[in-house]
Amino acid sequence: MTRSVTHATFTLRRTYPVPARRVFAAFADPKRKAAWFNGPDEWGPDEHSFDFRVGGRETSRGGPPGGVVHTFNAIYHDIVENERIIYSYDMHLDDTRISVSVATLELRPKDGGTELVLTEQGAFLDGFDDAGGREQGTRDLLDTLGDFLAREAADA
Amino acid sequence: MLPTLPRHAPDRPRPSLMRSSFLLERDFPASAATVFAAWSSPACKARWFSIESQHRRLDFRVGGREFLYGRSSCGRRFTYEAVYREIVPDTRIVFSYDIHIEGRHGSSSLASLEISPHGEACAIRYSEQGIFLDGLDSPRGRFNGATLRLARLDGLFREKIT
């Protein structure tokens, strides 16, 4: 195998029409996080462990039935309630580690709602994934989060 | 230690963050195995990495931690806490780490070392992607520190061959 490390950074912005504490809770509360932080529906439920505090870890494991197992292992580095979260994570396809990243999530009031700014600085290993693929995956995840926040606001 | 201020005390700056990344490339007059050992063996690493530290612990395996404690050249207490995320012997190391200064979180970084042998020597690429918090720690200081550490390491390799 040719070994390589490719470094890349991307930033995504979203404005959600809910207060910052709602957005923060979607990342901090285990039940809320499990409601949107998932693979595609056809993967079925994933295995999820979650310890949201500085130094705490999160793991999520899932994939298509009988297919490649996707594993996410995160460590929380910094938490400022309703304002920012810093975490690092590595991603695996089966037993192959494909990336290690550090990400920051910043929340700011905007237009009566909350702007989320997510920046990921990543090291992509051996060409299995790249910043473009990760950015698209993260974009989809933030859309799923938006749907979740809208449902939660409608139920309130 | 500085007294801990409430996060929104009037005289405390708002939370802020800055990102920075750099890549350092060096040729070392040493084999890939020797360069790898300089990062992975506690005794070798203590000779060049944060030599001012008063206490150090290194558990070099994926998921293992490294901890250093000391005072910086300007007298501030610091801790360095790393977690190893990826290890390919003699080839690659990826780790994340946090710096605390006087008990406050100064930065979180992701670092990678790539080692490519060529003949009796090897080329390395050392990269960091960092997040610097609340003005406690600086990207410039980090870059300068990494540059100095690699120079010290290079010096050790040269001592051995002369």
ipTM field: 0.92
Nearest to A90 by CA among A119, A61, A47, A63: A61
Closest residue of chain A to B65, computed from CA coordinates = A55
What percentage of chain B carries pLDDT values higher than 70? 90
Binning pLDDT at 50, 70 and 90, where does residue B10 land?
Answer: low
Strands B92-101 and B104-118: antiparallel
Of B15, B23, B96, the CB nearest to A102: B96
Are the beta carbons of B96 and A75 separated by less than 8 Å? yes
Q: Is the pLDDT of residue B31 over 50?
A: yes
Of A80, A100, A122, the CB nearest to B86: A100
- CA of A4 to nearest chain B CA: how many angstroms apart? 8
Are the beta carbons of B108 and A3 separated by less than 8 Å? no
* pLDDT at site A40: 81
Question: What is this structure's pTM?
Answer: 0.92
Are the beta carbons of B96 and A121 separated by less than 8 Å? no
* pLDDT at site B1: 45
Are the beta carbons of B85 and A106 separated by less than 8 Å? no
* pLDDT at site B59: 97
Q: Is the pLDDT of residue B6 over 90?
A: no
CA atoms of B54 and B77, how far apart (whole Å): 11
* pLDDT at site B52: 83
Mean pLDDT within B142-151: 96
Q: Is the pLDDT of residue B3 over 70?
A: no
Interface of A to B at Cβ within 8 Å reads: 3, 5, 7, 9, 54, 75, 77-78, 80, 83-84, 86, 88, 90, 97, 100-102, 104, 106, 119, 121-123, 125
Q: Is the pLDDT of residue B9 over 60?
A: no
* pLDDT at site A90: 96
Q: Which amino acid is at A135?
A: E
* pLDDT at site B93: 98
Q: Which residues of B touch A71 (CB under 8 A)?
A: none
Q: Which residues of B touch A78 (CB under 8 A)?
A: 105, 108, 133
Compute the mean pLDDT over every residue in chain B, rounded to the nearest whole number: 90
Binning pLDDT at 50, 70 and 90, where does residue B12 land?
Answer: low
Q: Sign of dihedral through CA atoms B141, B144, B148, B153?
A: positive
Low-confidence ranges of chain A (pLDDT < 50): none
Contacts of B6-9 with CB under 8 Å at 24 or more apart are B7/A80
Closest residue of chain A to B98, computed from CA coordinates = A77
Is residue B83 within 8 Å of B110, Cβ to Cβ? no
Buried b (16+ CB within 10 A) or exposed e, A103-140: bbbbbeeeeebbbbebbbbbbbbbeebebeebbeebee
Q: Is the pLDDT of residue B45 over 60?
A: yes
Are the beta carbons of A123 and B96 separated by less than 8 Å? no
* pLDDT at site A18: 97
Q: Is the pLDDT of residue B72 over 60?
A: yes
Between the CA atoms of A117, B20, A76 and B127, what dihedral angle is there, to the nearest 10 degrees?
A: 130
Are the beta carbons of B86 and A97 separated by less than 8 Å? yes
Q: Which residues of B touch A119 (CB under 8 A)?
A: 19
Mean pLDDT within B45-49: 94
Are the beta carbons of B105 and A119 separated by less than 8 Å? no
* pLDDT at site B16: 84
Q: Is the pLDDT of residue B13 over 70?
A: no
